[in-house]
Structure 1
């Protein structure tokens, strides 16, 4: 079959690679200028900031095997930095919870590796699916073209995008659209900070309590990162929801104040930028591996599916959901 995959995050790239290996012809459409989705790294003159997914763990045997392969290829490495729990500048050990991995030299590097050998059409936003006999046409919006174009026809279409973005594209499959709406994604404001001198904090990452922030991480503490003091701070879901439409400069001021309060360090950054993720993590992961309509040949996968592991919104969910969809299609 000629299959269109919408989304070039980890789930989309995984299902595309698997289906291509199974003998299908696959075309991937990605609305951004780069691959990797929320496994993002923003490059600056100070170095990179992993401002999306911070790290990943592996609990299932299948994902452990994949991570082992990635590690042998030099694509990922363990992040063995000390992680703590923070309360108003006071910290305590967060305890052990298995090996944490990061892609090297930045979180988006894994997506770039997985995209090799795939036909990925970047800056191509799919805005609608249109039936074309027993096939599908994609209505595609591009920044470089004034009018929307059509792509296809395709024998099957797979959506590997956040639930809130998938729902409007599933008009022809109302049951799927309803499930996507139920898996509502929570937003997240992220603050990226660069400092001229070390903050000399005795940890590389922390879960923050009683704060606008929920997590902070010293980006340059991760393996094979460029030197220099760089921190990423992510706001709590509750604060991000309340301030979703906040002016970016105001959001930056408030989150920077929270960072100072949480760490007890009042050194001012030389670089401070915010990024708003409208769809960061699933609030209610669907208790299935993926969705596939064999009659209409439309499928959905992503990190908002439980895919056999506890919770959702993790890189492992994205990978297992994609594998399950590829296996179902055959």
Structure 2
């Protein structure tokens, strides 16, 4: 089959690789300039910052096997970060299970998407705006910044949407009853704060879940393996605060989150580099049962980290992988 996949995050890349291995012709359309989705690394004059997904774990046998292969290839490595819980500046034991080993991609989280994208046909900076039936096949209306009008791509025998539910639902609404199920899910935003300091802060931890703050998480990025040395920190705002301030001016957001970082850590050292990034669709607010959605008659499917995929919770790297793999198997 000739298959179009919309979205080059981990779910889309996983689905594409397994379909290609089975002999299908796959083309991925990605609105951003690189693959990996929220497994991103922001490149700056100070080096890379993991401003999206911070780490991942593996609980299922299927994903543990895949992670072992990635580790053997040198794509990922364990992160033995010292993690705590912070409440009004006081650090205490994190209270979260350490049974599952925390893994990170090297030399940055964005590198995993680059590895998985190798050998795949990806159309970057192209946004799919509509799906259209063409007999028993599909056409895509695709928008690119370099072209004034939408282009038509296809025909394709099947289409797979590896997108946040909030982006997949409008594409499905005119053409498929799957839109009803997808419309039940929504992903909350997240403002990320990126900080570089000239001197060490001397904090006795590498990452922390923050209580009673605008922030929910902070991490010393350079504590991860194969990172560029330096006092580099990432902070993620809570979903509630990010939703409330979604449309705020980035400079104002940076000011507020930097103040929250100082309050949480007790350090008043000013950074030499500071920036923010808005992840508009960052974390599922609920979980859709199952691994994916696939309409075999229409040859139309949806996958993403907002599916339960047999796990407790959603929004993790493992959810994305298992969902993409399940849809590849269903479509094949």
TM bin (shorter chain): over 0.9
Q: Deviations over 1:275-316 (max 9, x none)?
A: 111100111110111000011110000101001111000000
Partner of 2:129: 127
Partner of 1:12: 12
**Preserved contact between residue 132 and residue 175 of structure 2 (Cα < 8 Å):** no
Q: Secondary structure at the match of 1:151?
A: strand
Within 2, Cα distance between the matches of 1:172 and 1:27? 23
State which of 264, 267, 272 in structure 1 corresponds to 2:266: 264
Partner of 1:74: 74
Partner of 1:22: 22
Q: Secondary structure at the match of 2:329?
A: helix
Within 1, Cα distance between the matches of 2:312 and 2:174? 31
Q: Quote the offset at 1:135 in angstroms.
A: 0.5
Partner of 2:57: 57
Within 2, Cα distance between the matches of 1:204 and 1:163? 32
1:155 and 2:154 are equivalent in the alignment: no
Q: Quote the offset at 1:174 in angstroms.
A: 4.5
Within 2, Cα distance between the matches of 1:203 and 1:175? 48
Unaligned runs of 5+ in 2: none
Residues 135-284 of structure 1: pairs in structure 2 closer than 5 A: 135-284=137-286
Alignment: residue pair count: 330
Q: Deviations over 1:95-119 (max 9, x none)?
A: 5422100000000100100001100
Within 1, Cα distance between the matches of 2:329 and 2:30? 23
Q: Quote the offset at 1:244 in angstroms.
A: 1.1
Q: Deviations over 1:106-136 (max 9, x none)?
A: 0010010000110011011111101111111
Q: Deviations over 1:84-104 (max 9, x none)?
A: 000111101215422100000
Unaligned runs of 5+ in 1: none
Q: Secondary structure at the match of 2:327?
A: helix
Q: Quote the offset at 1:162 in angstroms.
A: 0.6
**Preserved contact between residue 219 and residue 235 of structure 2 (Cα < 8 Å):** yes
Q: Quote the offset at 1:33 in angstroms.
A: 0.5
Within 1, Cα distance between the matches of 2:6 and 2:211? 37
Within 2, Cα distance between the matches of 1:162 and 1:269? 33
Q: Quote the offset at 1:171 in angstroms.
A: 2.1
TM-score norm. by structure 2 comes to 0.98
Q: Quote the offset at 1:321 in angstroms.
A: 0.4
Q: Quote the offset at 1:173 in angstroms.
A: 4.4
Within 2, Cα distance between the matches of 1:197 and 1:152? 54
Within 2, Cα distance between the matches of 1:172 and 1:297? 15
Within 2, Cα distance between the matches of 1:171 and 1:239? 30
State which of 286, 289, 292 in structure 1 corresponds to 2:288: 286
Q: Which moved more, 1:240-249 or 1:11-20?
A: 240-249
Q: Deviations over 1:197-252 (max 9, x none)?
A: 11111111000000000000001110000011110000001111111111111111
State which of 115, 118, 132 in structure 1 corresponds to 2:117: 115
Q: Secondary structure at the match of 2:258?
A: helix
1:42 and 2:57 are equivalent in the alignment: no
Within 1, Cα distance between the matches of 2:33 and 2:40? 12
**Preserved contact between residue 79 and residue 102 of structure 2 (Cα < 8 Å):** yes
Q: Secondary structure at the match of 2:262?
A: helix
Within 1, Cα distance between the matches of 2:162 and 2:287? 14
